[in-house]
Amino acid sequence: MNPITSISELEKAFHIREVVFVQEQQCPIEDEFDEYDHLDAACFHILAYQEGQPAGTGRVRFKEKTAKLERICILKQFRGKGIGKDIVRTLEDIAHKQHASEVVLHGQEHAEGFYHSLGYKTASDLFMEDGIPHLLMKKSF
Protein backbone atom coordinates (compact mmCIF):
# COMPACT_ATOMS: atom_id res chain seq x y z
CA MET A 1 0.00 0.00 0.00
CA ASN A 2 1.54 3.27 -1.08
CA PRO A 3 0.44 6.82 -0.36
CA ILE A 4 0.02 8.67 -3.64
CA THR A 5 2.61 11.42 -3.90
CA SER A 6 2.89 12.07 -7.65
CA ILE A 7 0.66 12.95 -10.57
CA SER A 8 1.72 9.70 -12.25
CA GLU A 9 0.46 7.65 -9.29
CA LEU A 10 -2.74 9.68 -9.11
CA GLU A 11 -3.36 8.98 -12.81
CA LYS A 12 -2.98 5.23 -12.11
CA ALA A 13 -5.61 5.52 -9.37
CA PHE A 14 -7.90 7.44 -11.72
CA HIS A 15 -7.52 4.71 -14.33
CA ILE A 16 -8.54 2.04 -11.82
CA ARG A 17 -11.55 4.10 -10.73
CA GLU A 18 -12.61 4.67 -14.33
CA VAL A 19 -12.39 0.96 -15.17
CA VAL A 20 -14.28 -0.17 -12.05
CA PHE A 21 -16.84 2.56 -11.48
CA VAL A 22 -17.43 4.03 -14.94
CA GLN A 23 -16.90 1.06 -17.27
CA GLU A 24 -17.97 -1.89 -15.07
CA GLN A 25 -20.62 -0.27 -12.89
CA GLN A 26 -21.83 2.34 -15.37
CA CYS A 27 -21.44 5.32 -13.01
CA PRO A 28 -21.45 8.67 -14.85
CA ILE A 29 -17.86 9.83 -15.34
CA GLU A 30 -18.83 13.36 -14.34
CA ASP A 31 -19.85 12.02 -10.90
CA GLU A 32 -16.69 9.99 -10.38
CA PHE A 33 -14.10 12.75 -10.25
CA ASP A 34 -14.42 15.74 -7.94
CA GLU A 35 -12.68 18.59 -6.14
CA TYR A 36 -10.80 16.15 -3.86
CA ASP A 37 -8.92 14.52 -6.72
CA HIS A 38 -5.71 16.51 -6.36
CA LEU A 39 -2.50 15.97 -4.48
CA ASP A 40 -3.09 19.17 -2.53
CA ALA A 41 -6.69 18.32 -1.65
CA ALA A 42 -7.91 17.84 1.90
CA CYS A 43 -7.64 14.07 1.70
CA PHE A 44 -5.17 11.22 1.31
CA HIS A 45 -5.12 8.86 -1.69
CA ILE A 46 -3.48 5.42 -1.71
CA LEU A 47 -2.56 2.92 -4.40
CA ALA A 48 -2.36 -0.84 -3.89
CA TYR A 49 -0.04 -2.98 -5.99
CA GLN A 50 -0.27 -6.69 -6.75
CA GLU A 51 2.36 -8.54 -8.76
CA GLY A 52 4.04 -5.18 -9.42
CA GLN A 53 0.94 -3.70 -11.04
CA PRO A 54 -1.52 -1.06 -9.77
CA ALA A 55 -4.45 -3.13 -8.50
CA GLY A 56 -6.64 -0.97 -6.30
CA THR A 57 -7.11 2.44 -4.78
CA GLY A 58 -8.98 4.43 -2.17
CA ARG A 59 -8.98 7.75 -0.42
CA VAL A 60 -9.87 9.23 2.94
CA ARG A 61 -10.99 12.76 3.67
CA PHE A 62 -11.76 14.51 6.92
CA LYS A 63 -14.45 16.64 8.48
CA GLU A 64 -13.56 17.49 12.06
CA LYS A 65 -13.08 14.17 13.90
CA THR A 66 -14.79 12.05 11.23
CA ALA A 67 -12.89 10.36 8.42
CA LYS A 68 -14.78 9.31 5.30
CA LEU A 69 -13.41 6.44 3.25
CA GLU A 70 -14.16 6.86 -0.43
CA ARG A 71 -13.49 5.54 -3.94
CA ILE A 72 -12.35 2.12 -2.74
CA CYS A 73 -12.04 -0.24 -5.70
CA ILE A 74 -9.97 -3.11 -7.03
CA LEU A 75 -9.48 -4.18 -10.63
CA LYS A 76 -11.40 -7.39 -11.42
CA GLN A 77 -8.32 -9.55 -12.01
CA PHE A 78 -7.01 -8.75 -8.50
CA ARG A 79 -10.20 -9.26 -6.49
CA GLY A 80 -10.40 -11.95 -3.85
CA LYS A 81 -6.77 -11.55 -2.78
CA GLY A 82 -7.32 -9.42 0.36
CA ILE A 83 -6.48 -6.11 -1.31
CA GLY A 84 -9.79 -4.51 -0.30
CA LYS A 85 -9.15 -5.34 3.36
CA ASP A 86 -5.63 -3.93 3.08
CA ILE A 87 -6.92 -0.71 1.49
CA VAL A 88 -9.54 -0.21 4.22
CA ARG A 89 -7.02 -0.94 7.00
CA THR A 90 -4.48 1.48 5.48
CA LEU A 91 -7.09 4.24 5.18
CA GLU A 92 -8.16 3.57 8.79
CA ASP A 93 -4.53 3.87 9.92
CA ILE A 94 -4.28 7.24 8.17
CA ALA A 95 -7.55 8.33 9.84
CA HIS A 96 -6.28 7.23 13.24
CA LYS A 97 -3.00 9.13 12.78
CA GLN A 98 -5.06 12.23 11.91
CA HIS A 99 -6.93 11.79 15.23
CA ALA A 100 -10.29 10.82 13.76
CA SER A 101 -12.64 9.28 16.30
CA GLU A 102 -15.01 7.78 13.73
CA VAL A 103 -14.77 6.38 10.21
CA VAL A 104 -17.75 6.39 7.83
CA LEU A 105 -18.28 5.21 4.28
CA HIS A 106 -21.00 4.68 1.70
CA GLY A 107 -20.70 0.96 0.99
CA GLN A 108 -22.38 -0.73 -1.92
CA GLU A 109 -25.11 -3.08 -0.71
CA HIS A 110 -23.32 -6.20 -1.97
CA ALA A 111 -20.27 -5.28 0.18
CA GLU A 112 -22.18 -4.89 3.46
CA GLY A 113 -20.91 -8.24 4.80
CA PHE A 114 -17.34 -7.35 3.86
CA TYR A 115 -17.53 -4.12 5.87
CA HIS A 116 -19.22 -5.90 8.80
CA SER A 117 -16.25 -8.30 8.85
CA LEU A 118 -13.98 -5.27 9.33
CA GLY A 119 -15.98 -3.96 12.30
CA TYR A 120 -18.35 -1.54 10.55
CA LYS A 121 -21.99 -1.18 11.57
CA THR A 122 -24.80 -0.42 9.15
CA ALA A 123 -26.13 3.05 10.02
CA SER A 124 -28.82 3.71 7.39
CA ASP A 125 -31.46 2.23 5.18
CA LEU A 126 -30.56 1.62 1.54
CA PHE A 127 -30.10 4.73 -0.59
CA MET A 128 -29.18 5.17 -4.21
CA GLU A 129 -25.86 6.69 -5.22
CA ASP A 130 -24.87 6.73 -8.91
CA GLY A 131 -27.71 4.29 -9.58
CA ILE A 132 -26.31 1.69 -7.15
CA PRO A 133 -27.84 0.75 -3.75
CA HIS A 134 -25.60 1.89 -0.88
CA LEU A 135 -25.60 1.88 2.92
CA LEU A 136 -23.99 4.27 5.36
CA MET A 137 -21.45 2.27 7.39
CA LYS A 138 -19.74 3.51 10.58
CA LYS A 139 -16.91 2.44 12.83
CA SER A 140 -15.62 4.16 15.96
CA PHE A 141 -12.02 4.03 17.19
CATH of the domain at 75: 3.40.630.30
Instruction: Give CA torsion, residues 141, 117, 138, 59, to 10 deg.
Output: 90
pLDDT in tens, 86-137: 999 999 999 999 999 999 999 999 999 999 999 999 999 999 998 899 999 9
Phi, psi of 137 (to 5 degrees): -120, 140
Number of domains in the chain: 1
| pLDDT, tens only, 55-100 | 999 999 998 899 999 999 999 999 999 999 999 999 999 999 999 9
Indicate whether 47 pLDDT > 90.
Answer: yes
Domain containing 88: what range? 2-140
